[in-house]
Structure 1
Amino acid sequence: MNIRCDAASRRCLPSRPLAFSGDQAEQFAGRGLASRLVREALDDVRRTGKRIVPVCPYVKGFLEKHEEFADITDPATPDAVQWIEAQLE
């Protein structure tokens, strides 16, 4: 996959997979759907040879608990966040 979309702003960025926060309907809370979605997305990132910059607090927390994805994760440094914000303008 070469395009990732920000569900909140409906904007897409080419090339580098990014993790953005999305709205989770309360009726689905507590069912493990968000963690399943994140795990599937990370598996896809690995399968396609990409890397991820986690800027979503949920994804950051997920990655802290699941070190098996450290090999495909780049830190959300100030430079990375600045690049992301520039792409969203």
Structure 2
Amino acid sequence: MRPLEVEDLPGPHQLQDPYGLVEPERRRSPQDRRRSIVGLTDAGRARTGQAEEARLAAERRFPAPPDEQTTATHIRAQRALPPGR
């Protein structure tokens, strides 16, 4: 994951973090001195990890897409229905 850059944030570049997730200091990007890099605190990294776990858990709740044989069977069944059904 690439670092969050101030330029990625909407609105004015006054970063205010009431949750303590983002480091208060900005540093210049070594690749592009015009950009500032914002880092995460330990709490921010932990929250990012929690968000990733939640994303993976949500992804596991969705069924896998059907295989080609199942898809073909469903298509044949739909085509066998009378029109208007």
User: Does TM, normalized by the shorter one, top 0.5?
Assistant: no
Interval of TM-score (by shorter of Structure 1 and Structure 2): under 0.3
Larger gyration radius, structure 1 or structure 2? 2
When normalised by structure 2's length, the TM-score is 0.27
Bigger share in helix: 1
The structure whose RCO (Cα within 8 Å, separation 6+) is larger is: 1
Normalising by structure 1, report the TM-score: 0.26
